[in-house]
Each structure stands twice: as structure tokens, then as C-alpha cells.
Structure 1
Amino acid sequence: MKTSVCIIGGGPSGLMLSQLLHLQGIETVVLERQSREYVLSRIRAGVLEHGFAELMREAQCGERMDREGEIHEGFIIAHNGKQSRVDLHKYSGGSSVVVYGQTELTRDLYEARDRMNGIVIHNAEDVQPHDLTGKPYVTYRQGDEIVRIDCDYVIGADGFHGVSRKSIPKNVLKEYEKVYPFGWLGVLSRTKPVSPELIYARHERGFALCSLRSQVLSRYYVQVPLSDSVEDWSDERFWEELKRRLPEDVAGRLITGPSIEKSIAPLRSFVAEPMRYGNLFLAGDAAHIVPPTGARGLNSAASDIYYLYHALVDHYKKGDDNGLDNYSAKALARVWKAQRFSWWMTTMLHTFPDSLPYDQKLQQTDLDYLFSSEAAQRSLAENYVGLPF
């Protein structure tokens, strides 16, 4: 089999790039280790920055997002008995974010690939890229058969545990990592959201977040120790703890119900450099991970895809390799800004088990300053809605 671009990973990043390139007449093959049903069963964040929403529209996949997505022009931070609103629209120059579940977004991308007869191969076992500094090719196994795909470029969009990053020699790759001493216990419930906008809550018992997927589907989180397991948390215990961490008026109107999905996600920050090795380009979680506090994870992946898409179009349409040559540096510059923002939001809003009274005072001072300074709120809003690509 031959193609121009072989994309390893059939999540939203890989599907988005495949769709965008297809619209420009550039052939792709997407390889995904899991089944389509498994990919669509993954529950992930759903806050899309302005640039990501525009990319969905450019990929001709934004119709349902625009129809069903929730436009949010602000969010609330609950702290020290107060509820302070961050006006994204006001402080970002008129921008907003779209709340639209990643599962639905991925379904839209799959359906677009189906309409265009895009090649997405599921259950591809033992995927392995080869000859990355020469004429690359990728092999995978289906049953007893080994299949080879010859290509010009390999895109590694196969996540943190995928094979792509591991294919870069250790003497070339440099990794940066910070592991936080807690995780987020998340519950999805078929209940009316407690607030039309997200509520981030800083509390002495730990952080909490009230989010939503739609007007009838809510997503809530509480900070928990890494030693906890899902089995430690009955629905009843979760709702009781969430109410303790929310302002009284919010807790009083919270509608509870059986959990549809419940999971614990550890928080970590991770960056791998460079994001290019020969003819291999990393994108999304294969190269970087952020805590979910600032909603930068999927959005950082989208900026990678934006840069790769334009670089590959320039290569095939104009013979211009400037975008490919500068991809790693350009992507990493934006990645590290997203890392900084996510680290700052996480540090400001969470309870750290080893924090000193001095640290706690600084956290409160940070919040007090944020809501006393329009410049500080402008900086937060600019980062939250998404820095320019």
C-alpha cells in the first residue's frame, strides 16, 4: 500500500489532519490500534477554544458543533466564600469557547471520513514506523498478515503510550515531566447542569469543577489523592463531597443522579522535544500532556494539527518546506505557553498535601489579585479562549 501521509492514531487529532489533507487532495491512511467503538467510548474534556472551532468548520465538520455546542462567554471561580466571574468575551476581544464533548467531535470526524471514503484502519496491531530518516514506511499486523504502507511522511498522533515517540532515538529525544500529587475523580450524569457556565471551585478540602456536555448531561470533578480508586467512591459519597466544596447556593440547587461513567485521571505535565525526527512528526498527547485545569489538552493538539496541515499543503502544493522545517520549534513555542497556563491554573486552584501556610497565602493572594486587575483577567481570558496559531 502507498500513500502520501501515514497517520498513526485515529483519535480526533489524526482524524482531523486526515480530513483536512483530504480536502486539499493529499492522500492519507490512518492506523488505529483500537476499534472504532472503543475510540468513541472514551470520555474526554469538551471545551474547544476559538481556533479549534474554526478548524472544525474548515474541515467541514462543524455543522453539528455549531448547532448543539454551548457557546460560553465566561466562567466562574468560587473561592473564599465568593463567586467571581471571568468575562472571556469582554477581556479576550470578543472571543468565546464552545462546550462540545470530545466523543461527539470524534464522531463528527469519523462520519466526515466515511463520507469521503477516507482510509481509517482499525484494530491495527504492532504498528511500527521504519526508516524515518530515509524513505519511511509503516508496518502493522492484522491477524496473521503483516501489511506495509510506503509513505512520504509519518504523523505520530497515537498518544502518550503510543509507538511514535518511542521511535525517536533516546540520544535525540528530551523529555520534561511534572507529576502532581493528586488526580481528578470525574462523574458523568444524565442531569441538568448546576450552572450554565463552568464553575471552578477552590476549597480547603480540594478542588472541584462543575462542567457540562449539554443541557441534560453534566460532568463533575473532585480532586482526590492518587491512592484512591473508583471503587472507593460510591455515587452517594461523590455527591456529598462535591456539595461540600461548592458554595452553599450552588450546592443547594445541584441535581444528583446515577453516574453514567466514573473515572480517576492523574494529573501530569509532559513535553517531549523535538516534535520532529526525520520524516516523523509528533502531534498531541504523543508529544505533550497538560493537566485538564485550563482545558488546553485537546486544544494544544489542534494547534499541532493546524501547523502540520499548512506545512504539508505548502510542501505538496508549492514545494515549500519551510513549514515542515520549522514545525517543531513553532509547535513547541505554543505548547510551552499552554503548559505554563495549565500549571498556573492548577497551582492556584488545587490543595497540595505538602503545602505550607505560606503557599496557601500566596494562592489566595493570586486569586485576589486576579479579580482586582483587568490586566490579569485579560491575560487569563486570552489564554483560555486560545492564543493565536
Structure 2
Amino acid sequence: MKNFLARTIFDEEHDMFRDTCREFVEQEIRPNVDRWHEQGFCDRSMYRAAGQLGLLGITSPEEFGGGGMGSDYRFNAILSEELAQADCGSVIVSVQVINDLVIPYLERFATDEQKSRFLAPLCSGEKIGAIAMTEPGAGADLAGIRSTALKNENGDYVLNGSKTFISNGVQADFTIVVAVTDPSAGRAGVSLIIVEDGMEGYTKTGPLKKVGLKAQDTAELSFENVIVPAANLLGEEGAGFGYLRTNLAQERISIAVGSIATSRRAFDLVYQHSQDRKTFGSRLIDHQAYGWELAKMATEIQSAQSFVDAAVEAKIKGELDEVTASMAKYLTTELQIKVVNTALQLHGGYGFMMEYPIATHYLDSRVQPIYGGPNEIMLEIISRRLAKGIH
């Protein structure tokens, strides 16, 4: 979307980083998208290439191989925006899981020894990480988690249970698992345990067959008496529920960033199509019905982008709260569904053909209002704040 309001949240250093991301997309992503869709996951070499360019662990400490950018979330946002140009939502999710879900927990709560074992190889791209919250009977309601990790006589944890819809789950070299360590303590009995690939009793099923995100490795995980060393406890025992709350805002703003970037990409695709395609002797964009639809999309995208940029700035200042992030997630994911659907419609029959990128966006977009907390939960979070008289 060119020729709209200039975005003022970036400086020259960010522009240089964007150039690096753009080159990465052209060299490492675009040539492989079709093959990744067929095989059901992205190559591990993609993560290594990203690590070598400093695209993983952007905000992590330099001593553990990170970029040392601290709280400057704009770098994360730029990467997601450029990944959207590859017309493969799977890549956005796969990378965001590492940068915006797994790494923040390791940065905040891991010991230096754990950071050396897990954070450093994540930043280099040598290892892939995942986080497992959702269970067959517990989705957005984390209080409903039934997986248990109870200590044995040696002080290690014995993990039992299952997780589902776990992004990066099959390829993950380690997974942060949310489990109950004290069944009598309610929310105060939930902990985060790092489970490593190959541990006895730990099995993975996948990649799962999904409507969209065909190249995103999504798995079901099963734990049967898995012995996890006490050294793999992340943070303090019983503090897991509180830890999860600390990162909800970042998880949801990351989804919002990806959604608005994808909406912009979908608009660019249909705008170009409207310039190239002619009916009744005129370009599609010259037909009023078509032009008005583009005008409505452009206006809504511009409005949502301004909101997201403001939320990103709040994130940098440490002022982004769960409610504002929920607003951003709700607004942008609902808009993405609307924009992509309209963009496909305006492609006509071509939009229904998988060789056109808009078709992939159509399939990939449907999950946006669901994952990271269904949008019904986002509305509940927002409405509860309003009910308290705070706005």
C-alpha cells in the first residue's frame, strides 16, 4: 500500500534491517514455498539461515547469540511484515512462535545454564522451539489444563498428558510444556517444564492436516511417564500461570502485526490485478463497483495499521496491556478475513486457483481469529475491562 499515510515509527536502522529481511524472503523463502506446502513444514535450513542473519532472538542478549535489541519490538514487527510478502502465512507463524512465544519465556525466566542450552541454539537457528499450552479439553481456558508433572523420589518430574495444535511441534528440539505440578493448588500449581526431543515416553503426531497454513508444522504431543530432570523447570515451580500472563500481550500483538501485514499484501495483490485485468474494454479499477471496494479496503487497512503502530510503540515503552493487545488482535484478524475474502472475490475465477497467491492467503487467514485466543475471548477480555468502568 503505497501513497498512503507515511509510517513514522521506524528509523534508518530499522530500514536497514528491513532490507535484510526482504533479501532473506527473496532468497530463502519464496523459492521454497510450494515445496514446503507439499511436505507440510519448512526446512530446518530456513531457521539456520534466519539465525545467521540475526533474524531470530532479535531482542535477546548478545552473550547468548541474540541481537541485543532489548525492548525494541519494531524489529520483530518488521520481520513479520516482510515475511507476509512471501505469500506463505506458515512462515510467519513458524518464526513468530520462536521470536514472540518461546524466546520471551527463556529471556525472562531461564537460568544462564538453560539459556546456554536452549536460548543460544534458538538464536542461531540450530534448534527449533515450541510451546505447548492447548490440550484436547483445555484451549483458551488454561485453568482447565490436565497434564501433570509430579516429582518422583529423585526430585525429577514425571510428565503425563497430551497437548494438541502445537505449532512447530514435530520439528521442535525442545518444547516448553505447561503442566500441573501441584494438583491441590489450583492456578498456583501450574509450572513450565522444558521437554526435550527424544525423551522416553514422549511421542509426536503430525504434521496435522489443516485447512490452511499447509507448510506450518502443527502437532499433537503425548507424554507417558516422561522423566524430565528438575533442571528443566523454567522459573519457579507453581509460577507458570503468572508467567503465561506476562507474555499474552506480546503474543497477541504479534498476531495483529502479521494480520495487518497480510491484509496489506492482499490489497497489493488485488490492486495490481485491477490494473492488469480488463473487462468491457476498461481496467477493473476503472469500474465503479470495483474501485469502491478497493477504496473501502484501503481505508480500513490504513485505520488498522495506525492502531497497530500505536500498539507497537506502547509495547516498546512497556505500556502495552492485555486489553489493548486483545483489541489489536480482534480488529486486525477480523479485518484480515474480510480483506482477503474481498480480494479473492475481486480476482474472479483466478482467485479460486491455487497458483494465485490470494488463494493461499484465503486458506491461511481463516485461523487468525482462532489461535492466540479465539476472538470471542478477546471480546470477553475487553468487555470485562469496560464493565469495571475503565476505558
Provide TM-score, normalisation by structure 1.
0.26
Provide TM-score, normalisation by structure 2.
0.26
More helix by share: 2
| Higher RCO (CA-CA < 8 Å; seq separation 6+) | 1
